[in-house]
Structure 1
């Protein structure tokens, strides 16, 4: 299956890498202290992984102002500590062997993303990368995906591409940009509370070599 595509786009957090839970819990404790709100383990997991879709919508449902939350969240995140606490999923190592153009499209902010790429030694895996912002738009908006495609030189010119990610927003961005979508379920349907449909649904990228996906 890997050879079927002319280019690959990938999400970062939850797809290629994850962060130790102790780091996540500590960040939400400190953010909660700033906001006067106690985040349960489940609430921290929901926001960290975007389990219910729009994080801003979820925060509003809990009575929190998204702007205040993200200001506190980014103030409490230490990019270098986060990088040290981030690990690469073993099944994601195939990305480093891809011969096709590879792009990164992530919601992880640049000041956090860059140290992670350096710490894990995976910067050279990507021929183009984009950290989404309000200006670029957020997945499932196809705009950031299309920008990376243009940077790779694989715009709307007959190239067949795929986007792999762990969230429904990744699948939506892929389809909105006219790409195939791979959903890698790192969390489990039970904890997520829903099934995410994609052209391919896997628990590990190792499954992509299975005859079912050929």
Structure 2
């Protein structure tokens, strides 16, 4: 168990960590992306790319013979922010975040035009003191810069901090930023094809609810 007061500042990932999109929505998005690229995506490929199960999505796209730039252009072109928000649900155990009584930041690869409507639709924007949506200016995880930007906005660069995420890039970003990490495993580890080694590994935020000094 990890006491919630073990750190002065908490940073968290969004998709796959706190929220996720309904399978039917993910399937529709990839069908439309496939139409634009002239290629079908299997169930396995959809899951790997959506959740980043294989690590770097761009590296995985290249391994499958796809140009990452063309893929992401098509991906963002077919997504409607309102439809995406309405198809997104909050993991029940994520309510833990609302109870944190210290600075909390969100650092996500979800594009800003999609993340904003999701936060508003789920009414969780006020959970976070700062929101950083990764882009070409901020850099992308595992680059530590997005995490450093969040810490700077929180005036907490020198404080004991932790980053919580569901992917290898999250854990690597935490290490690169000098933070501890919590890996939330919401998928069958066998699908990843790799072992994600954070400082802590949990399957639910309920594992973080133990009081300091508790059993």
SS class of match (1:3): coil
Residue in 1 aligned with 2:64?
Answer: 62
Q: CA deviation at 1:134?
A: 1.2
Length-normalised TM-score, structure 2: 0.95
Where does structure 1 lack aligned partners over 5 or more consecutive residues? Answer: none
- Number of equivalences: 212
Q: What's 2:104 paired with?
A: 102
Q: Residue 131 of structure 2: SS of its match in structure 1?
A: strand
Higher relative contact order (CA 8 A, sep 6+): 2
Deviation at 1:210, TM superposition (A): 5.0
* Residue 26 (structure 1) aligns with: 28
Is 1:180 aligned to 2:180, yes or no? yes
In the alignment, structure 1 residue 163 sits paired with structure 2 residue 176: no
* 1:58-110 Cα shifts (integer Å, max 9, x gaps): 11111111111111110101111010010001111010111100000000000
Q: Distance in 1 between matches of 2:90 and 2:6?
A: 25
Q: Pick from 119, 122, 125 the counterpart of residue 123 of structure 1.
A: 125
| 1:75 aligns with one of 74, 77, 85 | 77
Residue 9 of structure 1 aligns with which residue? 11
Q: How far does residue 192 in structure 1 lie from its aligned partner after superposition?
A: 2.0
Cα distance in 1 between the residues matched to 2:10 and 2:161 = 6
Cα-Cα RMSD: 1.5
Contact 1:106 1:130 in 2 (8 A): yes
TM-score for the superposition, normalised by structure 1: 0.95
- CA distances 1:13-57 after superposition (whole Å, capped 9, x unpaired): 000001100000000001001110010010011111111111111
Q: Do the aligned partners of residues 30 and 98 (structure 1) sit closer, same or farther apart at CA in structure 2, a change above 3 Å counting?
A: same
1:190 aligns with 2:190: yes
Deviation at 1:209, TM superposition (A): 3.3
Unaligned runs of 5+ in 2: none
Q: CA offsets, 1:177-209, max 9 Å, x none?
A: 111100000112122222211111001011123
User: Does the aligned pair in 2 maintain the 1:200–1:213 contact within 8 Å?
Assistant: no
Is contact 1:108-1:132 (8 Å) kept? yes
Give distance in 1, aligned partners of 2:61 and 2:180.
31
Q: Is the 8 A contact 1:15 1:184 kept in 2?
A: yes
- Which one has a larger percent helix, Structure 1 or Structure 2? 1
